[in-house]
Amino acid sequence: MDPASLEQKMAQFHEFFTIKHTLSVNMIPLGQDYDLPHVSRLVDQMPYAFQIAAQMSAVDTQALRPLRNLGEHAKDLADFLNQQNKKIDLMMSFILQQQDQPEHRYQSIEFGGGGLVLLSDKPFAEGEYAELKIFLSAEAAGVYCIGEVVESKQCENGFQISLLYSRIREEDQELLVRASLHQQTLQLRARAKQQNETN
């Protein structure tokens, strides 16, 4: 990897907002010579649980929109559908957790729509590709993609590995953007609550 392309990839990594948050991530190294599939071929190697998780997330977003036009009766119906949705989310979380492989498990330090940073006990070479399974427990969702190591730096707890999403479906990238914004909202609320309690 030449320095110019590394610089461009780091710029891509930082194009999206990132937030400090711990997620469970499976990372399986694929090497530097890995032949990246076209995004349209990514689904062929994606575990089925991740395919349906993304589809269910998109359906959730679209399903409640028409209810806004129903007036006051829509609230009761929306409440009922939200309760049903919670049951489905619990089942989806359970199904996705079956895809979690403890031997490949890492914890994120931060994540966003362009990439994530993992904590590792060993360094990885810049330009190395890895299969990523990102578990978004708060959203009852998961993302499968191919990442590329764009930075590997030593820290007091080991190594911080920054991975750019090299191959990711657009809907999965949107899901990660929404998840990072959701976490930011939760953190801001928690901070405001803490400030109110100390005043």
Going by pLDDT thresholds of 50, 70 and 90, the confidence category of residue 71 is low
Burial of 60 (0-12, 13-18, 19+ CB in 10 A): middle
| Residues above pLDDT 90, as percent of the chain | 36
| Residues above pLDDT 70, as percent of the chain | 87
- Mean pLDDT for 80-84 is 73
pLDDT at 1 (0 to 100): 47
Question: Could you report the per-residue pLDDT of 24-53, keeping only the tens digit for each?
Answer: 999 999 988 888 888 888 888 888 888 877
Q: Which residue has the tokens 């609550």?
A: 193
Residue 181 or residue 199, greater confidence: 181
Q: Tell me the whole-structure pTM to 2 decimals.
A: 0.80
Q: Which tokens hold the place of 120?
A: 């590792």
Among 129, 140, 155, 176, smallest CA distance to 28 is for 129
- Mean pLDDT for 86-102 is 78
Average pLDDT, whole number, for the chain? 84
- The DSSP bridge partners found for residue 105 are 26
Asked if the model's pLDDT at residue 63 lies above 80, the reply is no
pLDDT at 11 (0 to 100): 86
End-to-end CA distance of the chain: 52
pLDDT at 111 (0 to 100): 94
pLDDT at 133 (0 to 100): 96
41-56 burial, b at 16+ Cβ within 10 Å, e below that, comes to ebeeebeebbeebbeb
